[in-house]
Each structure stands twice: as C-alpha cells, then as structure tokens.
Amino acid sequence: MSARENRMMEPLLNRLAAEYGVIEHPDLVRRAPALARSLPEGLLEFLVHYRTAEPSAVCLISGLDVDGERLGPTPEHWRGSQYDSPALPQEVFFLLCASVLGDVFGWATQQDGRLMHDVLPIKGHENYEIGSNSLQHLSWHTEDAFHPCRGDYVALMCLKNPDSVETLVCDAGDLDWSALDVDALFESLFTQMPDNSHLPDNADLSTGDPVTDRLRSRSFELIRSWNEEPLPRPVLFGDRAAPYMALDPYHMQTSGWPARATGAFLGLCEEIERRMHGIGLAPGDCVFLDNFRAVHGRKSFRPRYDGSDRWLKRLNITRNLRGSRAWRRTPDDRIIY
C-alpha cells in the first residue's frame, strides 16, 4: 500500500467504520465482497493471482497506515475488544482483502463466535498451547486441522509487534517430496484431535441466547467426542506431486498407527522443521497464509502486560462456504456450529 493508495482508501474505510461501528456487523460482512472492488486495482489483481495460481503459500500485503497513538493500549483479553475498536478502519481493509480470497467465517467454539479474532498475550496462558501464549512457543500447525470445514486461508493483520516476534511458516512448495513417503501420508490412518482454542474452558458458558447456547453446546459435545475418539484421515491430499497438507502434530498421538504411517509422518515433520522460516510482522502488515499449503506457528516471547504488547487480528477464510452448509444455521450465516 503506497501513500497514494492509503489516501485513496481512507475515506471509504472511515465511512464504513462510522456506518457499522463493529467489524462483526452482518451487513458489512455481507457487502464486503462487493466493497472489495474499491481496493486498488494492483492489489486486487495480486490477491486474485495468489488465490488462483497458488504461486506461494504466503501472501503479504504491507504498508497499510496504522496510527500507533490512536490504537491506545493492547487489550488484556480478546473478550469484548470488538466494540469501540480503535483499529476499525484497518479491520475493514483487512476484511475487504480477505473477501477477495473467499468468504470469512468463524467458529461458535472459538472467541465467542466472532469472525475477527484478536491474537494477543493473555495473563495465565503464558505456558499453555494456544495462540494467546507467550513464554512457550506456539507449535506449528494447520489452522483447525481437526475440522472438515477448516479454512482455505488463515490471515493475520499486525497492529503492534514491538519485539518483532516472528510468525513461523513452512511452505509445502519448499519441501522435498521425493524424500518422503507421500503414498503413506495419503492413507486415512492419521488421528487428529481438536486444538485447545476450541475447548469450553476458553468460552463463556452462556451467550444469553438460548438457541445459540443449544447449538454451541452441541458443537462442544462434538469437539469432546473427537478428542476421545479421533477419526482417522489422511495428512496429505490433492495432487501427489505437489500435495496439500492438514496436520497439527501437538494435538496428534501416534500410538496405534501402523509403523509405515508413523515413519512417514515423523519424516514429514522433520522436513517441515528443516524448511521453517520466520516472518517478523510489522504494524500494517496483512499476511494471508494458504492453509492447504502452509503450516504456521510462533516463536516464544516475554509478554509486557503494560499496554504495548504484540497485537494481531485474525480471520479465517473459505473458498467454499456451501461446503459447511450442514454446520451453519442459514445460507449466509458465517458461524460454524
């Protein structure tokens, strides 16, 4: 985003922020794909090329104006931080870019069913395996690897990153597939458990709406059953010469797998670790990770808890909203129950 492009976008972003007041507004989300046509032409073409040609598993858009003064302190928790957001114009920009790649969606079981999440260090989570941890690194993973409705992309927008803490990424295109047992990894032999961010311990017990509460408790029940009896499925899929991946090793247990499957899986994990690299996101950076072709994590860091902490926004994006129709209440509902 050049200075000229920022000036060009500013009136629209401010107008939409004033009109809707919160990024979760259903009318704003519904209009986003049409409004996205107002993005700079070069940026639009860049995003469309990324989606269709898959030249990389990482798409980084830099240079969006972020006024650090206006942001104020980093919230202490994600709960309620969608209201009166000082970053709403930037959130709208992020939503419009995401809407070029597909449809944004959320999970009833994650961050109280919000579409746009906050990624920030939370007191008490320092050594827990979740995105809001800090002293412990966040193990690399496919986003929501356990769920059949997982997104095609997971996107992060950086508002603050004072210590340049690196997001870790490995692109499937960088792996030496000839050295791996690809055929074994295409077999439905690998069990994947849900990750901690979907557990009821990290949610409010009641949303105040009985229908939502009933659907959400059904969702939590499903998560519990997948934890107790994970379904075997493949780790790789798509083209055997250039496979897509879905794995979250921290939430997998290799016990009970055939020896060949275990060997193939450990070989893949080692190769991924060898090719992992860091991206130090800066304020105004929006990164769109291809969730079929990249796994991601984060290095550990010391949280500050003084209002200046690392602060990102996160979106999940699907190219096939209809694929999750059985999991959503209405055709244009974006929340998976």
For residues 28 and 119, which CB has a smaller minimum distance to Fe ion in the complex?
119
d(CA 273, CA 175): 10
Q: For residues 132 and 324, which CB has a smaller minimum distance to Fe ion in the complex? A: 132
Q: Using the rule CB under 5 A, give the single segment among 4-12, 46-54, 143-151, 251-259 that binds Fe ion.
A: 143-151
Give the DSSP per-residue string, 10-49.
Answer: HHHHHHHHHHHSSTT-HHHHHHHHHHGGGS-HHHHHHHHH
| Cβ proximity to Fe ion, 51 vs 198, nearer residue | 198
Q: Between 92 and 131, how does the x/- string for binding to Fe ion read (CB under 5 A)? A: ----------------------------------------
CB of 68 to Fe ion, least distance (A): 25
Which residue minimizes CB distance to Fe ion? 143
Q: How far is the CB of 144 from Fe ion (least distance, A)?
A: 8
Of 86-94, 97-105, 141-149, 264-272: span binding Fe ion (CB under 5 A): 141-149
Tokens of 236: 């790789």
Which range binds Fe ion by CB under 5 A, 139-147, 234-242, 259-267, 299-307? 139-147
Q: How far is the CB of 58 from Fe ion (least distance, A)?
A: 14
**What is the rounded CA–CA span in Å between residue 169 and residue 100?**
22
Helix (H) or strand (E) holding 51: helix 41-53
Residue 1 or 293: the one with the smaller Cβ distance to Fe ion is 293
Of the candidates 120, 146, 173, 170, the one whose C-alpha atom is nearest the C-alpha of residue 307 is: 120
Residues forming a β-bridge with 313: 118, 157
Cα dihedral 22, 82, 316, 214 in deg (nearest 10): -100
Span near Fe ion by CB under 5 A; candidates 1-9, 58-66, 74-82, 138-146 = 138-146
Tokens of 35: 């409004």
Distance of alpha carbon 41 from alpha carbon 43, whole angstroms = 5
Query: 103, 143, 171, 285: which one contacts Fe ion (CB under 5 A)?
Result: 143
Shortest Å distance, C-beta 141 to Fe ion:
6
Distance CA 14, CA 88 (A): 8
Q: Of 118 and 143, which CB lies nearer to Fe ion in the complex structure?
A: 143
Residues binding Fe ion (CB under 5 A): 143
